[in-house]
Amino acid sequence: MRAAKSRLRQQGASTVEFALVAAFGGFLLVLIGIFELGRISYTFNTASEATRLGARTAIVCDSGDERVRSAMIALLPSLRAEHIDISYQPAGCASSATAARAACSSVTVSLNSSAQLTTVIPFVPLAVSIPPFTTTMTREAMDSRNCDGGNLQ
């Protein structure tokens, strides 16, 4: 008789325990999702800023493609050189810094569609494509004296 009463009092305990564990697990999943969404948004914003920095470095510093790429990769380390496309107008005007200063009217720096970000969600390996950001800048009344070791001032 005593064992039957004890079993009746414990009947809903497993349901309550399951509800508590499920609520905590759901909260943890939502929290991880919020962190990942924030990290992805940050990466997209930084990728956009990297294209602006690359275009500005190319126009202001009259520097070669390697310097532009290294400045962008310094800002967003997950980029690789093959993710970055640089083109000058008119085509072929950037054979040297002197030629670029005299002949180039604009530069376009873009991230191609192969750039990806890998999420850090546990047990869910997911790669998100970084949108193909593009920045075009025209020649301004600036010269390479504004550059100091790769840093714009």
Q: How confident is the model at residue 2 (pLDDT cuts 50, 70, 90)?
A: low
Q: In 3-state terms, what secondary structure has residue 128?
A: strand
In a 3-state reduction of DSSP, which class is residue 107? strand
Determine the pLDDT at residue 153: 46
30 to each of 25, 38, 126, 148, how far by Cα in Å?
9, 12, 16, 45
SS3 content of the chain, % helix, strand, coil (to 5): 55, 20, 30
CB crowding 74-97: b at 16 or more within 10 Å, else e: ebbeebeeebbebebbeeebbeee
pLDDT by residue (tens digit) across 26-43? Answer: 898 889 889 989 999 999
12-16, 48-52, 104-108, 129-133: which range is least confident on average? 12-16
What predicted TM-score, i.e. pTM, was given to this entire model? 0.73
The pLDDT mean for the chain works out to 81
Residue type, 40: I
Query: Measured in Å, how far apart are the chain's first and last C-alpha atoms?
Result: 86
Q: Where are the domains of the chain?
A: 12-152
Distance CA 4, CA 26 (A): 35
Give the pLDDT confidence score for residue 149 in this predicted structure.
54
The whole-angstrom separation of Cα 67 and Cα 51 is 13
